[in-house]
A and B are shown apart, each in its own frame.
Chain A
Amino acid sequence: MVKTIFEDIKNSIKGIEINEVSYAERGYHLAVEATKGNLLNIIGLLDKKRFYIADMCCVDYVEYLEIVYLFNNHSSLCRIKVSLKVDPERPVAPTISHIYTMAHWYEREIHEFFGVYFEGHDKLIYLFLHDGIDFYPLRKQRVSVPAEDLKLLNSFKPREEEDTFFVNLGPQHPSTHGVLRVVIKMDGEYVISADPVLGYLHRMHEKMAENRTYQQFLPNPARMDYPGALMFNLAHVAAVEKLCGIEVPERAQYIRTITCELNRVASHLLWIGAFLADLGGLTPFLYAFDDRENILDILEAVTGSRLTYCYFRFGGLYNDVDDNFVSETKKFVKRMRERLIMYDKLITKNVIFINRVKGIGTIKQDMVPKYGCSGPTIRSTGIPFDMRTHEPYAAYDKIDFEIPTGTVGDNMDRYTVRLSEMAICLDIIEKAIAKLPSGPINAEKVPKKLKPPKGDIYHAVESTRGETGVYIVSDESDKPYRMRWRVPSFSNLMTFPALAKGSLIADAIATMGSFDLVIPEIDR
């Protein structure tokens, strides 16, 4: 795959700078240096080959700004980094939002944090930041926002139109799972357009990363995605390990796998409760929390916290697991299998539930690459795409498991995929515990002060909601030069305006609930 794409790009676009790079060191296969002239040709070619947009970010190198586009393919692993250099004085780049819909939001994000203008973008208004900020936060030097741009802040202005009205869903609303605001234009009960407004919980994680050493940043990822904290913790740790070339002992890899899967079950349980509560049934919420507390008990004993875990360290773990952990986990797996049957009886065959979710919020397969959505959202459409098998990390390559998929891609499928995923998580835990080797849990000779070699790296893991990637640029100091988080909920939420259009507002709420949104993760 990599070879053919390499040849294709080289042959079809004249004078292109394309290099094959070491995947083990960089986390991507091909690095393409685009110019303003040929960027659209390259992106168009990747679109034709059905590549999906994994991430898009900007790095400020002071002499120039570099816009990084990351692409990957669902069928076989082939990560491509396309970079475009722009002038920091007058940063202008062509938009790709007409090819990849998801770029619409990424470009808005880059515009507000770096001040890059995208030519041809139809709605370059602020997405995250608050009223009153007058500089670009992620630029290395202080650059003020031009006066005409300041007017774009908080630019939602409802206009009177016949027979339509606006509903502000959120930021304080029980079914937005946090502080998401969606401006919905409605005609009676029907949604005409939905426009999410983000940034009510923008906690500056990416800015913080530039002010912290790699070790000091360890507690942060858990606060980005609190229901699935260990997976985010792992994404950060594994990316830095890959960048520094630290080998992790096998026992630590297995323990990482087991604890991550326990965390995934806990997160899915929370989702089932919240989703059903959105639909009007509060009972499953109480059942789910009962099971969830059992997992928290197991994890608390080894990690030391209930929710925002900071358990993994560079090269290993904070704490070894004991026999008690193993026996408790086995007991839990047995209990949870019985409970899953109960959930199936309680929810899946309930007529009211089926009528509320079946055939609603359908994601079609050809939408997927344009939006770059991942996790259960993409698996529900029938694409068996999972980072755990697609790009194995920890001990997932040593354990056999199947990927549950849906068929239609509606809310019902997203529910069934998650339910069967829980059963598979339990299988993985059981198999990993049976194979758990003995030995050290920490790599030898990990320096106290990590100073990774110069360069960039992209590493992705499968968190509860999908592909969670970290893009780190290192400049040989003990702090990251730039750390970019590719978060799954951001691209999953992008599909919401398209799915909600034309549906009843109650159905739109069901669709939003089915994505399992975590707002701090979207806002970062």
Chain B
Amino acid sequence: MGKGGFHLETKDPIIKFAVLDKILNLAKANSLWPMTFGLACCAIEMMSTAMARFDIDRFGAGIFRATPRQSDLMIVSGTVTKKMAPLLVTLYEQMPGPKWVIAMGNCAISGGPFAFEGQYNLVEGVDLLVPVDVYVPGCPPRPEGLLEGLMKLEEKITGSRRFPTPEQKW
């Protein structure tokens, strides 16, 4: 990650309920509620993902909430500027835990096409502000890409993948 980004350490809880945890995690992974948080171009692809053709609802993540207090997934879909940065952190802090972040698109990952020498208004990667769980590259990523990112997040939560990995053809 470098550049002083966040390193989120997850500590094991003191008391463990193995079976109950598994069930709870399964429930969490299958009902992620994303926040309506469109920043730039990627937001349109995020909307496409929620619509009929790609239908994010198949994975239980279709309830986009307009307030951070009701959501547990933040999809950072677009460029984060220095003016927007403090607001993004505020929004993240308002979300109740457990919470996850998907950095969607090159801008949210590293500044993407807008990171050039002499830039004065860009946060080069949202991981400098909040911990990121899944990175989805692309400019903008296709809706399939976002869905794949969502499944990666589910894998992270439950420990196993929902579907078998697609066959690699190259």
Contact = CB atoms under 8 A, between A and B. Distances in A.
B118 A207 contact: yes
B79 interface: yes
B83 A202 contact: yes
Which secondary structure dominates chain B's binding surface?
A: loop
A265 to B, nearest CB: 15
A203 B41 CA distance: 12
Q: How large is the interface on A (under 10, 10 to 19, 20 to 34, 35 or more residues)?
A: 35 or more
B81 interface: yes
Interface string B24-45: 0000000000011111110111
Interface in B106-139: 113-114, 116-122, 139
Contacts of A202: 81, 83, 121
A308 B41 contact: yes
Interface residues of B, number: 37
B118 A223 contact: no
A219 interface: yes
Contacts of B66: 173-174
B39 A201 contact: yes
Contacts of A137: 120-121
Interface in B59-82: 66, 68, 78-79, 81-82
Contacts, number: 106
Contact of B120 (A131, A133, A293): A133
B36 to A, nearest CB: 5
A286 B47 CA distance: 10
User: Of A172, A211, A289, A307, which is in contact with the most chain B CB atoms at under 10 Å from its CB?
Assistant: A172
Nearest to A277: B47
B116 A130 contact: no
Contacts of A231: none
B121 A129 contact: yes
A226 interface: yes
A342 B162 CA distance: 39
A307 B41 contact: yes
A467 B41 CA distance: 21
A178 B37 CA distance: 8
Interface stretch (B11-19, B48-56, B96-104, B150-158): B48-56
A293 B78 CA distance: 21
Contacts of B39: 178-179, 201
A204 B112 CA distance: 13
A286 B52 contact: yes
A207 B47 contact: no
Contacts of B119: 204, 207
A201 B107 CA distance: 12
Interface string A284-311: 0110011011000000000000111000
Contacts of B149: none
Contacts of B53: 289-290, 293
A203 B114 contact: yes
A201 B79 CA distance: 7
A226 B41 contact: yes
B121 A130 contact: yes
Contacts of B44: 226-227, 270, 307
Nearest to A294: B53
B51 A285 contact: yes
A199 B83 CA distance: 7
Contact of A226 (B36, B40, B122): B40
B83 A204 contact: no
Nearest to B78: A201
B68 to A, nearest CB: 8
A204 B40 contact: no
A286 B91 CA distance: 28
A174 B51 contact: no
B83 A129 contact: yes
Interface string A208-237: 100100000001100100110000000000
B121 A171 contact: no
Nearest to B47: A289
Contacts of A200: 81, 83-84, 87
A132 interface: yes
Contacts of B120: 133, 135, 137, 204, 207
A129 B83 CA distance: 7
B51 A289 contact: yes
Contact of A178 (B40, B91, B113, B117): B40
Given A226-B44, A270-B44, A286-B52, A208 B114 contact: yes
A223 B44 CA distance: 12
Shortest beta-carbon contacts, A-B, top 3: A130-B83, A289-B51, A226-B41
Given A130-B121, A227-B44, A519-B40, 10 more contacts: A133-B120, A174-B36, A178-B43, A201-B40, A201-B79, A201-B81, A211-B117, A219-B113, A223-B41, A290-B51
21 contacts: A130-B81, A130-B83, A130-B121, A131-B82, A131-B83, A137-B120, A172-B37, A174-B36, A177-B38, A178-B40, A179-B38, A200-B87, A201-B79, A204-B120, A208-B116, A211-B117, A226-B40, A289-B51, A289-B53, A292-B48, A306-B142
